[in-house]
Every structure is written in structure tokens, then in C-alpha cells.
Amino acid sequence: MGYVKTALLMAAMTALFMGLGALLGGSTGAMIALAVAAAMNLFAWWSSDKMVLRMHNAHAVSAQSHPDLVGMVADLARRADLPMPAVYVIDEAQPNAFATGRNPDNAAVAVTTGLMRILSREEIAGVIAHELAHIRNRDTLIMTVTATLAGAISMLANFALFFRGGDNRMGLLGTLAMMILAPMAASVVQMAISRSREYEADRVGAEICGNPVWLASALERLQQGASRIDNMRAENNPASAHMFIVNPLHARKVDNLFSTHPATENRVAALYRMAGQSPRGAGPDGPWQASRPAPAPRQSGPWG
């Protein structure tokens, strides 16, 4: 099903490309846009994961440099019946995480240093399990392809003022309209894919880690941290925002115009219902036998 959704996504993005190309340069512009879209689709299929990791300056870590983190990912991957993904760390104060890769055999999980500082071990397990759920559900291919193509559409729309072809009769106002509407259309595609996907990854992730409350607590603290701390790489590359576990964007007023994430409080409430608890309740211990009934907030995580 993941590959069908990806094919539909690529078709939708290609149509947007061709439509914008036709408006800018008539039939010639449409054909050029089709060629560019075909090349980008091929590139996105094979290389979008590496591109997104570079975009956010993620660096690979090993069991030697980050034994606790890598060991936790390996343990949870076994519980999820998945191959061991590559593990990346992003030097970013905002607490957040994402997964990427075209399939489970070529997947990666990336977490920020901010996340490792503020979450407990149990909460980090919940976050990693959520990202592994995306990998198991094969969401990561859709997420990374969307990030690459939506960013390209936005860039093409921004070039519209400078590259208006001879067959283009839109005029200045029409070109300005396309500069606004094309990125909006890409955002609508992202939203349609992202919201239901997050709820499902929360549910599967809670099953993988063994305690829905761990993920619920993590989401609350991640949302608080993300709302206070700017992530300028994400702000400068908003097309990748839907990949993160919580929305990394807030510094610019337009960031919330089209939110790619469901409301965090709704996700948290769903997880507590899954655990059979009220938001203030305590759940059963998971695979690591937490030292407290539920992952209450604490100031530093297991990596300092």
C-alpha cells in the first residue's frame, strides 16, 4: 500500500509541476516541467533520504559513540521485527526526531541533541518506537519523497517572477498568484498524507515500546520544547516539517497556515485512551521496567 500511495503522490506532484510549467511557458513549459519532474521523481525515489539527512546536518552515530541510544534502537527494532536502521544525531537544541528511508532495509532514525537532553529513557523509547512504526508502515518513503518534491515545487513557484516564458499570458498578478497557490497545493498533499499517518504511528509505536504513556508523555514535552525553541534548519526547509514527530515550525506566522501534524493534545488523549487511563494516570511497566509508574518529567535524559 505504501508504494501505491507513493506512486499517487508522485503523480500529483508531477501534475502540479506540469501545471505550473504550462502557466509559465505554455506547452513548451509543460514539457520541460514534465522532464524535470520525471528526473526529480527518480532522484527522490533513490536519494531523498540522504538529501533530508544532509538538509538537517544529521551525522551517523555508532554503538561506540552512543551505546545507550544505538542499543535502544536495536532492542526496539527487534521488538518491531525490523532490520536495524542507521542511527543519526542532529546537533539541534529543539527536541524532535524523524525517520527516513525508502524501505525498512534502507532506513534511518534521527534524533536531536535537544531531545536526548530533556526526555527520560522511557520517553525516548516511546519516540524511537513511533519512528520505527513509520518505517514498518513504509511511511518513510512517502515522507521523504514529499519533502523533496514539495520543496522543488515551492522553489519553482518562487522562480516564476523571473522566468515567465513567451507563451505565458498570466501577467504579474497571475504569476504572483501561482507563487502562492503552488506551495499551498503541495502543502495540501502533505497534509492529506501526514495526519492519519501520525495517529497510526502513535498506535503502532505504543505497541512496540509496550507503554502508550511513555509516548504520550514524550509528545507533551516535545511539543512544549518545540514551541519555545527555534529550529532554523526546519524553518528554512519547511517542506520537511511533516517528517518530524512534532511540528518543528513556529517562528514564522505562515508556519501554522497549513499544519501537517494533528493537534498534540489529541494524539496524547488517544494514547491515554489506548492505555485505559486518564491523562494523569499511570500505566503498566514496559520492556525496560521503568523505575517509576509513569515517565514523569525530569530535567535531563540518560545522555546528560
Strand partners for 88 = 60, 110
C-alpha–C-alpha distance, residues 143 and 102, integer Å: 9
Query: If DSSP codes are grouped into helix, strand and coil, which group holds residue 244?
Result: strand
Catalytic residue, candidates 92, 122, 131, 198: 131
Q: Is 207 a catalytic residue?
A: no
Q: Which is it for the CA torsion 166, 170, 172, 176, positive or negative?
A: negative
**Full DSSP string of 91-152:** --SS--EEEEESSGGGEEEEEEHHHHHHS-HHHHHHHHHHHHHHHHTTHHHHHHHHHHHHHH
Per the listing, cell 536502521 goes with 85
54 Cβ neighbours under 8 A, 6+ residues apart: none
Angle at 178 between CA 143 and CA 154, to 5 degrees: 30
- C-alpha dihedral, 265 to 269 to 272 to 276, nearest 10°: 170
Active-site residue list: 131
